[in-house]
Amino acid sequence: MSNISEINKDTFWELIAQAKEQCGQDQDAFCQWLENRLIEMGPEQALNFDYAAFAYRAAAYKYGLWSAASVMLDGCTDDGFTDFRGWLIAQGREVYMAALKDPDSLADAADYQDQRFVCLPHMGDRAYEELTGREIYEDFDPAGYDALKSELKQDIVYGDGIGYPYDAADAQVYLPRLCQRYMPEGVNIGTWNINSLEIRAARATAQKSKKIKKDRGDSR
């Protein structure tokens, strides 16, 4: 049982830690435990959990982290990166924050369910529907969600170069320990969709890590 009665940016992570302690690497048990606790807390807290989970997942949408996921997963699609960010949240606050400051820190993270966790962000929605008979999107408050997302991001320190989509050659410099752990025979993470306006914008505006500038003498 959990002694948490209200979900905020601190108790969210406390609940994740308790779920991990109770359920280990069993994702089905992890999700069921979370759903049960949220049902006990009531619909308002289920809604708060949903907002926090999706806000933290959105805050981790960074191409440097996606590059790390590609190394760890031997390539990573859009859906794969969504599930990877669910996995990252399940590792807890310390691992999550460290990864956004330096994705190479994930070289120290324990292997856990192939670095994918599909259901975790949806436990608030499941509990809310069980309690009210309504889906969360029916009562979604965009202003409340945006306010929470802004509040949560105040605690995140984004690391140098986190917004750049790296190719394989640069990934070896940006993520040396991850590459050594997951691709010791050579890095092959696929290629970015260069026709994507989003990728083009990131490469045009985001800064590469200073590690790459130092290693390669890049001008940006």
> pLDDT tens across 52-103, in order?
999 999 999 999 999 999 999 988 999 999 999 999 999 999 999 999 999 9
In 102-220, which ranges are continuous DSSP H helix? 123-132, 142-153, 168-174, 176-182, 197-205, 210-216
CA distances from 70 to 23, 108, 119 (A): 27, 16, 20
The string of pLDDT tens digits covering residues 16-61 is: 999 999 998 889 999 999 999 999 999 999 999 999 999 999 999 9
pTM, full prediction: 0.93
Tell me which amino acid residue 78 is: D
Q: In the structure encoding, which two tokens stand for residue 177, read together?
A: 């320990």
Decide: helix, strand or coil at residue 116.
Answer: coil
